[in-house]
Structure 1
Amino acid sequence: MVRKRNRKFQLSLSEVATIAVYFHLSHYREFKNFYLIELKKNMKINECP
């Protein structure tokens, strides 16, 4: 049985664009590391999947 995620909200286009700009200006080569270190820990985005 395959379960689907129950997402509570969706990011707006401006939020996605801001994250993309931060990623391209950062020293990270992989988005996964950028997301886990910068967004999850430093920016306190715990609601993101």
Structure 2
Amino acid sequence: MVRKKSVKYQLSLSEVATILVYFHLSHYRQFKNYYLMEIKKNLKSEFPKAVS
């Protein structure tokens, strides 16, 4: 049986705070849309451990 190593993704408290500040400064109305479009795509290198 081959086991894959599970990778644990976890943001620090300061990263969560930064994301929330960016969200409130953005034009997005829904956090989910903001997170998927901006954090997961455009800011992927700044938040490499962002949860999916």
Moved over 6 A (4+): none
TM-score, normalised on structure 2? 0.70
Shift of 1:48: 2.0
**Which protein is bigger by CA-based radius of gyration?**
2
Q: Which one has more relative contact order, counting CA pairs under 8 Å at least 6 apart?
A: 2
Gaps of 5+ in 1: 1-5
TM-score, normalised on structure 1? 0.74
Shift of 1:42: 0.2
RMSD over equivalenced CA pairs, Å = 2.0
Gaps of 5+ in 2: 1-5
**How many residue pairs get matched?**
44
> Does 2:51 correspond to 1:48?
yes
State the one-letter code of the partner of 2:19.
Answer: I
Partner Cα separation in structure 2 for residue 47 and residue 16 of structure 1: 9
Which whole-Å deviations, capped at 9, do the CAs of 1:7-44 have from their partners, x for residues lacking one?
60321110000000000000000001101110111011
